[in-house]
């Protein structure tokens, strides 16, 4: 019995198939001495298709029992099981998630710990939340630059930037704001799983939405940073002129004016401005980096 693992037929987008056949059947497939890769009636272009093909001569014969391939008498696992390992941990476990039907989770041999070891850091999400004008985006850039100078890989998910693409279909109604945060939370989760230090910078006014994002990640991987700057200070800054428009009634549902901001009950870091005293960006950056260093995020 010969077991052939091949791209068959060539027009099937490179899907790997398992073919079990005797020597007579091998001739029908166009091969006479497969181990020597001698082909009958195949042009040089067609021979190039043989490069990804693997063949294995075996004295034993596999058999199918109850839909499963049984091990060979010599104790070797059939080749089909190896190909299944390449494409998924368990292809028979189908799920229905939300509106997605008949889907399955595919595992990869390279996991988060492997990526973290490669990057020499631990993947996590630093979630910067606060009123518009509190300095979230500016702090995110300072933090990213400081970590980059230390050889750490970061990526910023800025609320306004994400609305230019992924979330361009969402408004600022309460339900769309929740969906905006949910999507960004899922992206942040993927970046953290990739081993990156993800910095999410957005108002995220509702406590339940931030908590839902926290729940997406393993315990300790979500670092909530509340930039606690009073409304009057943010409004005096008004870097985008949005408070002025909101006060004039030209923007509806603006956080802090006619829509609430719910501060965290408990978060990992609070960067508070008291009265006219303002903590410098450098100091705020060092507070966050000190937390990361103390808790082991800057090493694998």
- CA atoms in the 13 A half-sphere facing the CB of 181: 24
Angle at 201 between CA 199 and CA 205, to 5 degrees: 135
The alpha carbon dihedral of 112, 118, 124, 128 has a sign of negative
Phi and psi for 140 in degrees, rounded to 5?
A: -60, -45
In 41-173, which ranges are continuous DSSP H helix? Answer: 44-47, 79-87, 112-119, 136-149, 159-162
Residues 6+ apart with CB under 8 A from 224: 127, 129, 210, 214, 264, 267, 268, 269
Q: Which two tokens stand for residue 48?
A: 């190039």
- Separation of alpha carbons 83 and 88, rounded Å: 9
Residues in contact with 270: Cβ distance below 8 Å, sequence separation at least 6, in sequence order: 225, 226, 228
Whether 2 and 33 have beta carbons less than 8 Å apart is answered as no
d(CA 281, CA 294): 20
Candidate list 83, 204, 266, 290, residue with the active-site label: 204
**Main-chain phi, psi angles of 158, to 5 degrees:** -95, 135
Concerning whether 95 is annotated as a catalytic residue, the answer is no
Q: Which residues are catalytic?
A: 204
């Amino acid at each position: 019995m010969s077991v052939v693992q091949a791209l068959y037929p060539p027009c099937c987008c490179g899907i790997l198939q398992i073919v079990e056949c005797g020597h007579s059947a091998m001739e029908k497939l166009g091969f006479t001495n497969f181990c020597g890769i001698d082909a009958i009636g195949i042009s040089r272009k067609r021979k190039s298709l043989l490069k990804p093909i693997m063949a294995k001569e075996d004295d034993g014969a596999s058999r199918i029992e109850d839909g499963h391939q049984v091990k060979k008498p010599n104790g070797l696992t059939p080749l089909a099981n190896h190909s299944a390992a390449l494409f998924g941990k368990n292809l028979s476990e189908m799920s229905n998630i939300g509106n997605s039907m008949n889907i399955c989770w595919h595992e990869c041999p390279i996991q988060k710990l492997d990526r973290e070891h490669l990057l020499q850091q631990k993947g996590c999400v630093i979630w910067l939340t606060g009123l518009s004008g509190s300095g979230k985006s500016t702090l995110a850039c300072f933090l990213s630059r400081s970590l980059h100078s230390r050889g750490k890989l970061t990526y910023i998910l800025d609320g306004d930037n994400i609305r230019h693409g992924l979330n361009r279909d969402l408004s600022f109604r309460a339900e769309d704001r929740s969906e905006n945060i949910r999507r960004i939370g899922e992206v942040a989760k993927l970046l953290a799983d990739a081993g990156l230090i993800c910095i999410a910078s957005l108002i995220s006014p509702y406590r339940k939405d931030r908590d839902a994002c926290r729940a997406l990640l393993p315990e300790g991987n979500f670092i909530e940073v509340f930039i606690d700057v009073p409304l009057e200070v943010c409004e005096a800054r008004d870097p985008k002129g949005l408070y002025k428009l909101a006060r004039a009634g030209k923007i509806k549902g603006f956080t802090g004016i006619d829509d609430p901001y719910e501060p965290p009950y408990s978060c990992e870091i609070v960067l508070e401005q008291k009265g006219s005293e303002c903590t410098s960006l450098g100091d705020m950056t060092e507070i966050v980096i000190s937390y990361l260093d103390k808790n082991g995020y800057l090493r694998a």
